[in-house]
Amino acid sequence: MHFGSDNQPGASARVLDMLVAANLGHTHGYGDDEWTARAEAALAEVFEREVEVFLVPTGTAANTLALACLVRPWQAILCHDQAHILVDESTGVELQSGGARPVGISGGAGKLTPELLASHLARAGSDATHNVLPGALSLSEVSELGLVYSPQELTGLADLAHRHGLKVHVDGARFANAVAASGASAADLSWRAGVDVMSLGATKNGCLAAEAIVFFTKGLAHELPFRRKRAGHLLSKGRLLGAQLVGWLQEGHWLDLARHANSQAALLARELTTLPGVRLAWPCEANEVFVIAPTALAAALRAAGATFYDWYRGALPPGVELGEHELLLRLVTSFASSDAHRDELLAAARAFFHRRHG
């Protein structure tokens, strides 16, 4: 019963097969190989336009290297106060950017809004050398709390950001889940909405370690090759990354995987909330279920073999506090989540309440 993270399974069979296929023969090193080229072509097709692509092995590498190209070391990167780049990637942004500062914006209902952004900008200082002025906005799609920005929401944020001179980055660690959930196209959820650069994550959704930094806006990528190399993120055997992405993107495989994960999460959310004392902290729109649940239930599920994380109290909706015997839990489904595991979890939960109230 694995609901800890979508990084706990391996690769999908198709992705693994492509990796095995790619292993044969000699290629040029350092990304100058046919698999990398094929991945780039596949990304251009998915996004319905020319793009500049740089492959790296981790999401932290993708986010921090991309952002380092958007800001100078004396600027800020605005993001949600639960953003992965702020909370879960150590001081990676600072390292790669030479000291730029990620700044979290609080409040709101699980997503940033133009109003929140405008309010932040109005309260911040504007003295260019003394204050740390923002140079970029980083959004997460799927959001930090499992919600999906619509194309309209992204457009509203990107427009405001651009009017203030900010570049727009999307942390797309679960972008596949967002595309699958929203019904909008990858293009609609990125460059058509004004996104300048995206970290497109494949690792959490069927690959072993493969992320693509995708630049949509011309003129922003010129530093990336240098930053990737000095950070140690230029793989000599580029086929490892290229082949995974080729397999992942081929014939809509990436979206098939995401749809499965999303539907598992939706079912889980629906069933869990039928239990007494269990309520969603946030609507389940993609493949993450944030629930507030009795501490004893969490213990019982873990005793039954389920894995999942207690989550940051800072991730609770504004105004919501945990009761004394409650926890905020995050359960994540993946392409590899099985009906059996889901049913086993739900059965264990129901058994807990039977024992307790029976």
Interaction residues for a second copy, span 139-198 (CB under 8 A): none
Min separation Cβ 114 and a second copy, Å: 18
CA separation (Å) from 281 to 72, 168, 270, 291, 300?
37, 28, 13, 5, 20
DSSP letter string over 294-349?
EHHHHHHHHHTT-B-EE--GGGSPTT----TTEEEEEEE--TT--HHHHHHHHHHH
Min separation Cβ 48 and a second copy, Å: 29
- Site string (238-277) toward a second copy, x via CB under 8 A: -xx-------------------------------------
The secondary structure of residue 79, as a DSSP letter, is E
3-state DSSP assignment of residue 288: strand
Window contacting a second copy (CB under 8 A); options: 91-99, 137-145, 156-164, 282-290: 91-99
Residue ranges in 206-235 that form contacts with a second copy under rule CB under 8 A: 208-209, 223, 225-235
**Beta partners for residue 301, in sequence order:** none
Task: Output 45 or 223, the one with its CB closest to a second copy.
Answer: 223
Residue ranges in 10-39 that form contacts with a second copy under rule CB under 8 A: 10-11, 16, 19-20, 22-30
Tokens of 165: 């001179």
Task: Output 313 or 350, the one with its CB closest to a second copy.
Answer: 313
Told to check if 90 binds a second copy by CB under 8 A, we report: yes
Window contacting a second copy (CB under 8 A); options: 55-63, 255-263, 292-300, 349-357: 55-63
3-state DSSP assignment of residue 130: coil
Residue ranges in 331-350 that form contacts with a second copy under rule CB under 8 A: 336
Sign of CA dihedral 191, 219, 236, 59: negative
Distance from C-alpha of 74 to C-alpha of 93, rounded to nearest angstrom: 12
Q: Which residue has the tokens 């059996």?
A: 340
Out of 41, 45, 49, 72, name the contact with a second copy by CB under 8 A: 72
**Strand pairing class (288-294; 52-56):** unpaired
Out of 44, 162, 217, 312, name the contact with a second copy by CB under 8 A: 312
Count of residues in contact with a second copy, rule CB under 8 A: 82
Task: Output 156 or 201, the one with its CB closest to a second copy.
Answer: 201
Distance from C-alpha of 46 to C-alpha of 121, rounded to nearest angstrom: 34
Min separation Cβ 99 and a second copy, Å: 3
Out of 37, 132, 296, 351, name the contact with a second copy by CB under 8 A: 132
Out of 18, 51, 65, 197, name the contact with a second copy by CB under 8 A: 65
Q: List all residues 6 or more positions away from 46 whose beta carbon is below 8 Å from its beta carbon.
A: 186, 249
Out of 163, 270, 279, 313, name the contact with a second copy by CB under 8 A: 313
